[in-house]
Amino acid sequence: MTENTISHALKDIRQRITRAAHKAHRAETDISLVAVSKFHPRDSVEAALQAGQRLFGENRVQEAASKFPPLRELWPDLKLHLIGGLQTNKAVEACRLADVIESLDRPSLSEALDKASQKVGHLPELLIQVNTGNEPQKFGIPLQEADIFIENNLKRFGSHVKGLMAIPPQHEDPQSHFRTLTALSRRHGLTVLSMGMSADFEEAIAEGATLVRVGSAIFGTRPPFSTDKTL
């Protein structure tokens, strides 16, 4: 997509966020847009930066490492979220690169991030990914294990644990999953809710999302090689 197209797309998404916030009687400033740039070239990220976007989401550590360090030199207020399933052997690099890791979902990853953060001297903010649909093919702590997992990570990481993330099942009404995640976050006193993507972010805002992850509606269809689901 061209720079002009991305700029127009961002403007449209921001307007939709504003309308959805007002409809839900919420302040639009309480909702942040994560522009999901995974599998898109650095030129596309630069176009979004030129249009004022500063918050980006990437799935793979390697891809993020190739794109973002040079861009941070030009836009030091840029923020990077890692949003895909994170392998434990990528924990050190993830701690070096990311401002937020949205995919903490198992005890082995908690252990790896703890050790990695001590090694590099930086622990990103953390969101716990919950598999609200208990789908076996998806990342995320199973819903029935989420309360204990959240408590354990709050004990381990304290205020670095900011909130929760979820991806509802593709062929189900997402609203009930958004409500489940909101209730879970309130139960643990967490304030950040990353939920809602290009097709359903307005519904997510109605249910309390504070971060919405939008990719294709900004950058267009991902290239056909975008099949890697892990970092």
Domain boundaries, the chain: 3-218
Cα 103 from Cα 58, distance rounded (Å): 11
Query: pLDDT tier at 61 (50, 70, 90 boundaries)?
Result: very high
> 99-129: per-residue pLDDT in tens?
999 999 999 999 999 999 999 999 999 999 9
Neighbours of 217 (CB within 10 A): 17
For 26, the token pair is 């919420």
What is the model's pLDDT at position 221?
80
Cα 218 from Cα 13, distance rounded (Å): 8
Neighbours of 1 (CB within 10 A): 17
Please compute the mean of the pLDDT values over residues 174-178 and round it to a whole number. 97
What is the model's pLDDT at position 231?
44
CATH fold of 3-218 reads TIM Barrel (3.20.20)
Query: pLDDT tier at 228 (50, 70, 90 boundaries)?
Result: very low
What is the model's pLDDT at position 198?
94
What is the model's pLDDT at position 13?
98
